[in-house]
Amino acid sequence: MFSGLFAQQLEIPKPIGFVNDFASVMSEETRNRINDWAIELKEKTGVEYSIATFPEIGGEDEVSFGVRLLAEWGIGSERDEGVLVFVAVKERRLRIEVGYGAEGYITDAYAHRAY
């Protein structure tokens, strides 16, 4: 009776860097440019930025998935200074998660207005 109410949680793969294009939707040039920018951002501000694309997130809502991804990958973990952008291609979902320590640079409200 309740089997359809709870989505199976997708197993989150290990990150491979600041840019994790698991859906293979970015060109190598784009991945490299974002990666270079993320390195510069971390060096200048201490904020860790990560972007991830997934073919799909298995029906899990994007808020829960984003929070889980931010925590499991430990983005900005020392001072919670992390920003995560992820896209679920099949579900056409985009989410920006901002760690509390990064809210001096980008607030949740600003991040959510971006999309």
Which pTM does this prediction carry? 0.82
Q: Which pLDDT tens digits describe the chain residue by residue (115 residues)?
A: 444 445 568 889 999 999 999 999 999 999 999 999 999 999 998 889 999 999 999 989 998 999 899 889 999 877 888 899 999 999 999 999 988 888 877 777 777 776 6
**19-113: which CATH number, 3.10.310.50, 3.40.50.2300, 3.40.50.450, 3.40.47.10?**
3.10.310.50
Nearest Cα to Cα of residue 85 among 46, 53, 59: 53
pLDDT of residue 115: 66
Do 82 and 76 touch, CB atoms closer than 8 A? Answer: yes
Do 68 and 100 touch, CB atoms closer than 8 A? Answer: no
pLDDT of residue 7: 54
Rounded Cα distance, 54 and 103, in Å = 25
